[in-house]
Each structure stands twice: as structure tokens, then as C-alpha cells.
Amino acid sequence: MAGGETDGTAARTTATTAGGTGTATDPRDDATRAWSALRRRLSDEATAALGEDEADAFLTRVDLALVDVHGPLAELYGDRADDLFARVLRTALAAAADRPRALRRLDRRRELDPGWFQRTRLQGYVCYVDRFCGTLDRLAGQLDHLAELGTTYLHLMPLLRPREGENDGGYAVADYRAVDPRLGTMADLEAVAGALHERDMALCIDLVLNHTAREHPWARGWLAGDPAYAGFYTAFPDRTLPDAYDATIPEVFPDRAPGSFSWVPEARGGAGGWVWTTFWPYQWDLDYTNPEVTLAMLGEITWLANRGVDVFRMDAVPFMWKRMGTTCQNQPEGHTLLQLLHAVTRLAAPGVVFKAEAIVAPDDLVQYLGAHERFRPECELAYHNQLMVLLWSSLATGEVRLARQALGRMRPIPPSTSWVTYVRGHDDIGWAITDADAAAVGLDAFAHRRFLNDFYSGRFPGSFARGALFQENEVTGDARVSGSAASLCGIEDALERDDAAALEAGTRRLLLLYSVAYAFGGIPLLYMGDELALRNDTGYVADPARAPDNRWMHRPPMDWAAAARRTDPGSLEGRVFAAVRELGRVRRSLLALRGGTEPELLDAGSDAVLAWRRRHPRSGAFVGVANFSPRPQEVDADTVTGFGSFVQVHGSDGRLGVRGGRLTVPGLGFAWFAEP
């Protein structure tokens, strides 16, 4: 943490910045020099550890990644880079030597197909283990349900051992190498990974990088004064520097955990200190200006990769580096650090990819995919939070001008990366709508965000939504929204009122949103229960540990009785399940929906219809249309169907007719067209 202190003395500083302004020599020359001095010794060590063939592959990876490994070390840690270079390479070599044979075979396949995660066969599902099936040892028995949906990418929500008691939904990790005992054991997780790989499914888990629980061994060692953990965390003796930092840092949980620092009496050898805690007081931010922290985290990542994890959802990455006078988010060194972790992990486990959990402004978001002025590999995947937010905004307003504006001006992402597109996640919805985008379509951003909060919390007259405000700040008017996708779409309200027409509209809204998520490009992610239109769960209020956090309302336990109705076309569950399954089936047949290319936003002549075009170099074009108005809308048929040459391959209401050069899209309906 630039500016951080652990004992009241002057802060540590780095020798260079991520802009590369600290050295006069070429980073490539420095990397080559360091590698030349080390290569012979490491070659012998690699051959002894891996055998001749595997050693050759490992050393070739190092050759290719020299600048991606040594460069960040030099930028972050200056003159210590050469020593650290040798240490991180040996960390990677040890992990490569420990990597199971089955995972090495998977690595080889993915090195031959480096865009494996961009293929249209990749389709995601996210769930909490306990909410889905109880324990890890029961999960294999439910994989048929996922296979029916076409799932090939399973994201299991936080399952590493958390602190006891309040733990931020599992994100306060007390041990990276153990599973929450309520869910099972690490051996159970390895068995799950094996079962998934047998079905050609990938496993994704959460890895919290910014902080640990205060009960983590690193934190306990730091408090105890163990030299091995000196500088792992940051503590200040008084409020002088914390107040200066807090002046520019937005609060994450302003109502229950204001500020970014917590008083810990045991810190600083018992003298007490203000520990950096961006989130909750029991989550202590790691200090990555200390390279020992970076090395320790590399050890945890590679160890978990060897348990069979294919994708790491890198949690809270915008917060990993701090700088006075800023929001302490999205700092250049944070990107450099992530690039380093990525490069070294890929040396040991080249089949593993990173997914950035970065819910930030669009211009900041694309950087986590390496979209800097000069591309540097960082994360292969990132959540398309902007798309998710704008889908809900469009649904509330019935028009898409804001979505067209904001999505249309997003910077393109590198072709070697991909989005993860989604309708709903485990978290609250924060309205990441910029002042500039709102003003461009004649809206006041603050007023629009306030409207969306009112609409989805049911406060706005005529709203169909049954959500709730999360972390409402009555002083600033800021808030976020909780609620399941089905409840926010009006399905819960319709069922309670026994209103068949409203239920039809709510169901169409839900499928409309997923039609965009499945066809906008990237890996579509289905949140557990959405395939059955599961509604809000109020049972969480009976659990004292969960009652204060209304996000648990949209984390319902899986309703397997409802799932049993998925084959009944006359039931709500049957209709939604069949429709979602069909979205996946058609998507898999369309090469234009493969990752690696960007969608083009179209104006098809209606401000209620979102229209976009995609094209892959080896396929024809694809055009999708989604009508966010409850009334039919006419669009320009030539814009959508390419002068009539495109074939409709899917839609909510059968084949759409063209009359007088206009194509009519039914209210809350969608259609997909593809060039033969």
C-alpha cells in the first residue's frame, strides 16, 4: 500500500510505477539479463523435478513470459527484482512439479487451444454449494441438472474456510487451503473438479486477493510479531493518515462499517493501531508493497490450481493497491500486480485463467482485461457489469437510448479475452451509470439512479418489481438493490396477485434479459434458480448471521421440488427451463457468438429495441434484437436482416414478418438472425 505504515515510521515506497518511469534501461534487456544469469541452474532443477520433456515445456513458457514476469517485479519492487525473479520462478517450478498428471494433460489441450474459454460451448452456472446441494460430496449427483442446461463452466461461490461467525458471505477467508467444514473437505473439492473434468466442465472458485480474515495465520503471525509476516498488513498509530486517506476513499458499507480503518488494540506490538480494513473490520487488507505478500499469495493460487481449479474469480482486485489522494481503487500498480500473478500462475498451470471481479466504471473495467495503452496479459475474463446494469435500466424505462450510448462507447477489449455476461449475480446491483452517458441522452445521472432504486424496490408507482434497497445512505441518497431476477421482473408480484397477464409479462421480461446475456458475446452466466424463476427468499431473516444483509433474499436455496417441474411445459418452471435451455442450444450453433470479437450497437429505428451485430472472421454476421417495451415495435428490416439475407434462428414469438421494409418485434420479445 503506497503510503502504508506498520510501525509509525515513514512509509515504504516502490522504486518505479506501472507506467515504467523508474528505470532507464529497457525492461526486455533487464529480463533477458536476469534470465541468462539464472537459466542454466533453473534448467537443471526443472529437468530433475519434471523430466526432460516437461522441463523443456516449462522453460519455454518462461522464455515467452520473461517480460511479463520480470517487468512487473521491477516496476513494483525495484532493485529487488532479480532476486524475486528467481524466487517466483522456483515457486512456479515447484507447483509445476506437484501438478497432477490429469491436469497436465488438460494444460496441453488448452495450450493447443488457447481460446478454449471463448468458444460458444462455454456456458456458465453459478451457485452456493450449501444452497444448491448441501455439501460438496453431493454435488456430483446434481450434475445432470446442469448438463441439461448445457452447462460447461460451474462457478461455486465462496467455499474456502471462512472465519467463524460473520464472514461477509464467505469472503473473509481464514485458510486458503481448506474448505468450509460445513461444505466438506479439500479432498471433496478435488473430487468435484475431477467429476466436472470428466464431463468436460470447468471449475471456477472465488479467490479473495485484497484481504484475509483477521483469524488467518498470516494475520495472527503479524499480530504476534513473527518476522515471517512482518509487513503483511498495515497499521497506523493514530488517525492522521487514516483520516487523510478516508477523505478521498468511497465507503463500501457506510451504514455498518464506515471508513476504511479499524482500531485493533493488539496491533503494533500491543500498542494498538488503525488497521486497513476496506470492507469489514474483520477483513484486513494485505500490503502488497511487501513482496513477501505477493510470493505468499502466489503459493496459494498455484496450490489451489493443482487441486483442479480452472478459473479463479479474483475478488476485489480494484482495491489491491493504495495511494494517498485517490479512491485507492484501480491504481496502476494494482494492474501490474495482477499481471504478475497471472504470468507466474500460467507458468505452473497454463490451463488456468483469471476472471476479474471489478465492478467499476467502464473505462476502468476494460483495463482488467489488459486493455491498457500497451496490452499486457492480465485477466482473460471479466464480468460485463455495464451490460447487466443497462439491461435492468432498460427494463424499468422501456427504452434503450442509455444502453445504446453507454455500450456503444465502451473501449474494445483485447481479442484474446472475453466477457462474462449475466443478468443477475449473488451481489446487490449498483447503478454504474456515468454522468457523461446519462447527459448524452438527456438524463440526470443522479436522478436516474434514484429512479432505478425506487423502481426496483417497489417504491415507484406502478412498479412490477419486488426488490429491496441495500446499504441506503440517507444523507447522499445512494443505494443499491437486492432481489432475485424473477422477483425484480415482476413474477413474484404476479403470482401473489394471481394475475395471469402479469405473470406472462414477468416471464417474458426474464427471458428477454437472458436472450441478451446469451447472445451479446462471451460466456453467459446463469445464476442458480433463474432457470426455474425462483423468487425472493425471506427465510434468511431467521438466521441471525444473515438477517442484517438483505442480499440473502436473492440467494434462495435450490427448490428441487420446483426443479422436478422443469419437464412440465404447463408450469412456470417448465416454460422458463425449456426457454433457457433453448437459448444455450441455439447459441452453441452460432460461431459469431464466440468470444474474441466485439458487438456493434445498432440503431434500428426504435428507442425501445436494443439491436446489436456480431461477426466472427470465420462466420457470417449475427444480429440480435430485444424489445424492452411491453408494446410491439417496428424496426428497419434492412438494418436487422441484412436486406433480407439473414435467417431468423431463434426468437420469443416464432418467425417475425416483414411488411413495407419494417420488422415488428413483439412487446418484451426478442429475435436472433444469422447470415447463412
CA dist., res. 370 & res. 153, Å (int): 23
CA dist., res. 301 & res. 321, Å (int): 19
CATH of domain 27-112: 1.10.1740.10
322: which residues sit within 8 A by CB, 6+ positions away?
1, 2, 3, 4, 245, 276, 285, 328, 331
What average pLDDT does the segment 518-545 reach?
Answer: 96
String of DSSP letters for 573-584: HHHHHHHHHHHH
| Inter-residue contact 654 to 582 (CB < 8 Å) | no
Could you tell me the CA-to-CA distances from 86 to 58, 295, 341, 666 in Å, in that order?
14, 11, 15, 62
Look at residue 126 in the predicted model and tell me its pLDDT: 98
SS3 at position 84: helix
What average pLDDT does the segment 18-27 reach?
Answer: 55
In the sheet with 261-264, reading across from the earlier edge strand, the strands are 235-236, 273-276, 261-264
**Helices assigned H by DSSP within 349-483:** 362-365, 385-397, 401-408, 435-440, 445-456
CA dist., res. 537 & res. 553, Å (int): 5
CA dist., res. 4 & res. 10, Å (int): 8
SS3 at position 229: helix
CA dist., res. 439 & res. 437, Å (int): 6
Residue 24's pLDDT band (cuts 50, 70, 90): low
Could you say which architecture CATH assigns to the domain 217-285?
A: Alpha-Beta Complex (3.90)
What average pLDDT does the segment 223-231 reach?
Answer: 97
| Inter-residue contact 552 to 537 (CB < 8 Å) | yes
Q: List residues with catalytic annotation.
A: 315, 357
The answer, yes or no, to whether residue 14 has pLDDT greater than 90, is: no
Could you tell me the CA-to-CA distances from 27 to 30, 35, 70, 85 in Å, in that order?
5, 12, 8, 13
What average pLDDT does the segment 212-225 reach?
Answer: 98
Buried b (16+ CB within 10 A) or exposed e, 187-219: ebbbbbbbbbbeeebbbbbbbbbbbbbbbbebb
Number of Cβ within 10 Å of residue 114's Cβ equals: 13
124-127 and 480-482 strand pairing: unpaired
Write out the three cell numbers for 32: 533477458
Write down the residue that cell numbers 471462512 correspond to.
162
Beta-carbon-side half-sphere exposure of residue 471 (alpha carbons within 13 Å)? 18
Look at residue 496 in the predicted model and tell me its pLDDT: 97
CA dist., res. 603 & res. 612, Å (int): 8
pTM of the full structure: 0.94
Question: Cα dihedral angle (235, 237, 239, 244), rounded to 10 degrees?
Answer: -60
CATH 2.60.40.1180 boundaries in the chain: 595-674
Please state whether 508 falls in left (phi above 0), alpha (psi between -120 and 50) or beta.
alpha
**Bigger pLDDT: 96 vs 477:** 96
The answer, yes or no, to whether residue 19 has pLDDT greater than 70, is: no
Look at residue 478 in the predicted model and tell me its pLDDT: 85
The answer, yes or no, to whether residue 4 has pLDDT greater than 60, is: no
Look at residue 21 in the predicted model and tell me its pLDDT: 42
Question: Cα dihedral angle (48, 53, 55, 61), rounded to 10 degrees?
Answer: 180
Write down the residue that cell numbers 446434481 correspond to.
142
Could you tell me the CA-to-CA distances from 382 to 300, 321, 623 in Å, in that order?
21, 19, 23
SS3 at position 246: helix
**CATH superfamily to which 595-674 belongs:** Golgi alpha-mannosidase II (2.60.40.1180)
CATH 1.10.1740.10 boundaries in the chain: 27-112
Could you tell me the CA-to-CA distances from 536 to 302, 340, 393, 467, 543 in Å, in that order?
37, 41, 20, 8, 16
**Any idea what DSSP says for residue 429?**
B
**Any idea what DSSP says for residue 200?**
T
Exposed, middle or buried: residue 382 (CB in 10 Å: 0-12, 13-18, 19+)? buried
pLDDT digits (tens, 9 = 90+) for 473-523: 777 778 999 999 999 999 999 999 999 999 999 999 999 999 999 999 999
The overall longest dimension of the chain from CA atoms, in Å, is: 80
The answer, yes or no, to whether residue 11 has pLDDT greater than 50, is: no
Could you tell me the CA-to-CA distances from 236 to 108, 281, 282, 618 in Å, in that order?
48, 15, 16, 57
Task: Write down the mean pLDDT value for the chain.
Answer: 94
Percent above pLDDT 70 for the chain: 96
What average pLDDT does the segment 389-394 reach?
Answer: 98
**Any idea what DSSP says for residue 430?**
P
What average pLDDT does the segment 603-612 reach?
Answer: 97
String of DSSP letters for 490-548: THHHHHHHT-HHHHHHHHHHHHHHHHHHTTSSSEEEEETTGGGT-----GGGGSTTTTT
| Inter-residue contact 89 to 63 (CB < 8 Å) | no
pLDDT digits (tens, 9 = 90+) for 376-386: 999 999 999 99
Look at residue 22 in the predicted model and tell me its pLDDT: 45
Residue 296's pLDDT band (cuts 50, 70, 90): very high
**What phi, psi does 631 have (nearest 5°)?**
-105, 150
pLDDT digits (tens, 9 = 90+) for 36-57: 999 999 999 999 999 999 999 9
CA dist., res. 499 & res. 508, Å (int): 14
Write out the three cell numbers for 4: 502504508
